[in-house]
Amino acid sequence: MTKFSDLKLHAKVLKAIDEVGYTEPTPIQAGAIPPALEGRDVLGIAQTGTGKTASFTLPMITMLNRGRARARMPRSLVLAPTRELAAQVAENFDLYAKYTKLTKALLIGGVSFKEQDALIDRGVDVLIATPGRLLDHFERGKLILSDVKVMVVDEADRMLDMGFIPDIERIFQMTPFTRQTLFFSATMAPEIERITNTFLSNPARVEVARQATTSATITQAVYELPGTRRDAQAKQKRDFLRTLIDLEGEKVTNGIIFCNRKVDVDIVAKSLKKYGHDAEPIHGDLDQSYRTRTLEGFRDGKLRFLVASDVAARGLDIPNVSHVFNFDVPSHAEDYVHRIGRTGRAGRSGTAMMISTPKDEKLLAAIESLIETTIPRGDLGEQKAPVSKASEADVAADSKEERPKSRSRSRSRSSSKPKDEPKPDTVETPVEATAPDTKPEPAAKRKAEKPAEPQEKPQQSEAKANSSRSRGGKGRGRNEDRGPKVVGLGDHLPTFIEKSFDERRTD
């Protein structure tokens, strides 16, 4: 059986490994370390929790033990998709390189550029970074990558999912052609194969497990909830999640709950805390210092439940996770492998439970097709009926509460438009309510008693007609009362018109 002492690692590295308590390498470590020490490119494919980080950290420390770094020119580069994974690689480096004089720098978001620039200016042997922050430093003229001798891409398929492939290709072009490249991932998509064929030279392919397989030490189960109203589905899932936790009882020493959306991460964490469970959220929108404190509390056992998005699904080495709860069926089948890989690590046993709804049928089928096995359907027995009844009662209660609200809203809208409503001081009296001796007056009599409206003067009516004609309205003044019709000059004929032509000449 292979031992670490058989892998030709540096004596100082072996001393650090002994203090950690490791005696035998995992299959991926035994297969990847020897070709890496020979200077060959390595393509490592293995499921999560098998020790891929040590597979490139240990040979890298051994190879870099000779030599010295220069300012702004790192000797090796490790790319990780998330801040948490990059920080974990940095912790592993500190652990295994404690007896060497090698230096490192961690370039991730959420930390000031000034502190990171100070580390780079002193010169580092190992630069661990996320692609975005690395390019930021490079564009600011703070980094020179022409002296990189070893380049590592960890969780390459996650880089693809997060859209980092163009950045990875650009970073490859910044490094020298003579570098040594190590690729590690749990799955290998066709796009990743294209990059490996382009930038890796005759790599040693180390595949210790079939791609996208799950560990045999993990007990899996999926619970299919009945369909319900869309707005009540999330509440039903939260109730069911608490039921699963209560049924597991003391078996759940700690657990990670995965959600697809960041907003659901916050809601589920608040819901668990409301019902007495110790839980905290972690996702990409939270401050980096808060994320670091939350992870440390979870590792130290001070926090029982970590509600996370997929930012925590890749590469985080938390060895004693007893349970993984998939609150949502992952949108990408590969993410299921990485999520449940947080439990059952290093040969330990673990439990993975997933909540599914009728709309998740296609996603569930894709997962089972990827891992080439059928996930057992969970059965709560007598406990299942009360949960579903409670959910139906909640749905009924919600519907009763919502209907009056909708009516009140409609009344409020109608009250804002009092156009057709009668005035409050107007009271209409029906005919039947009149006194018996009173009779309604005939219409003709009412018309006769109606006071006549004053007639307009001829000049005013003519002005009205002219104004209506000037506005261009056709027939607009036909029904208007213009007063008596004026014909000629009437009875007032001027005298000079009555005189004959001869009389006017003599005058």
Along the 507 residues of the chain, how does pLDDT read in single tens digits? 578 988 999 999 999 999 988 888 989 999 999 999 999 999 998 876 678 889 999 999 999 988 888 889 999 999 998 888 898 899 999 999 999 999 999 999 888 899 999 999 999 999 999 999 999 999 999 999 999 999 999 988 878 777 888 999 999 999 999 999 999 987 777 888 888 888 999 999 998 866 567 778 899 999 999 888 877 899 999 999 999 999 999 999 999 999 999 899 999 999 999 999 999 999 878 887 888 899 889 988 999 999 998 765 565 667 789 999 999 999 888 789 888 888 887 678 899 999 999 999 999 999 999 888 999 998 765 444 334 344 444 444 444 433 444 343 444 444 444 444 444 444 444 444 444 444 445 444 444 444 444 444 445 545 444 444 444 444 444 455 555 565 555 566 666 666 655 555 555
Q: How confident is the model at residue 503, as a pLDDT?
A: 58
Query: What distance in Å separates the CA atoms of residue 504 and residue 238, rounded to the nearest whole number?
Result: 114
Query: What distance in Å separates the CA atoms of residue 402 and residue 305, rounded to the nearest whole number?
Result: 33
Q: How confident is the model at residue 345, as a pLDDT?
A: 77
Q: How confident is the model at residue 111, as a pLDDT?
A: 85
Query: What distance in Å separates the CA atoms of residue 445 and residue 451, rounded to the nearest whole number?
Result: 12
Q: In this structure, are 141 and 264 located in the same domain? A: no
Q: In this structure, are 194 and 224 located in the same domain? A: no
Query: What distance in Å separates the CA atoms of residue 109 and residue 296, rounded to the nearest whole number?
Result: 18
Among 396, 415, 432, where does a domain finish? 396
Query: What distance in Å separates the CA atoms of residue 229 and residue 438, rounded to the nearest whole number?
Result: 63
269 domain residue, yes or no = yes
435 domain residue, yes or no = no
420 domain residue, yes or no = no
Q: In this structure, are 249 and 363 located in the same domain? A: yes
Strand bridging mode 104-107 / 42-45 = unpaired
Which of 180, 245, 210 lies closest to 380 in space, CA to CA? 245
3-state helix, strand, coil in the chain (%, to 5): 45, 15, 40
Q: In this structure, are 53 and 189 located in the same domain? A: yes
Q: In this structure, are 245 and 386 located in the same domain? A: yes
484 domain residue, yes or no = no
Residue-wise pLDDT tens digits, 27-66: 999 999 999 999 999 999 887 667 888 999 999 999 998 8
Q: How confident is the model at residue 470, as a pLDDT?
A: 45
Q: In this structure, are 178 and 251 located in the same domain? A: no
CATH classification of the domain holding 29? 3.40.50.300
Q: In this structure, are 178 and 36 located in the same domain? A: yes
Which of 135, 324, 325 lies closest to 240 in space, CA to CA? 325
Host domain of residue 189? 4-207
**CA-CA-CA-CA dihedral for 152, 155, 161, 167, to nearest 10:** -10
Structure tokens at 426: 């107007």
Q: How confident is the model at residue 344, as a pLDDT?
A: 84
Which of 43, 33, 29, 34 lies closest to 201 in space, CA to CA? 43
Tally Cβ neighbours within 10 Å of residue 344: 24
Q: In this structure, are 197 and 246 located in the same domain? A: no
140 domain residue, yes or no = yes
Q: How many domains does the chain have?
A: 2
Query: What distance in Å separates the CA atoms of residue 134 and residue 487, rounded to the nearest whole number?
Result: 99
Residue 381 Ramachandran class (φ > 0 left, ψ -120 to 50 alpha, else beta): left
Q: How confident is the model at residue 485, as a pLDDT?
A: 60
With contact defined as beta carbons under 8 Å apart, do 304 and 254 qualify?
Answer: yes
Query: What distance in Å separates the CA atoms of residue 102 and residue 325, rounded to the nearest whole number?
Result: 40
Among 396, 427, 453, where does a domain finish? 396
Q: In this structure, are 152 and 190 located in the same domain? A: yes
483 domain residue, yes or no = no
Q: In this structure, are 233 and 296 located in the same domain? A: yes
The model carries a pTM of 0.61
78 domain residue, yes or no = yes
Check residue 352 and report its DSSP letter: E
489 domain residue, yes or no = no
Structure tokens at 437: 């001796």
Q: In this structure, are 171 and 231 located in the same domain? A: no
Among 396, 425, 448, where does a domain finish? 396
Q: In this structure, are 291 and 186 located in the same domain? A: no
Query: What distance in Å separates the CA atoms of residue 310 and residue 331, rounded to the nearest whole number?
Result: 10
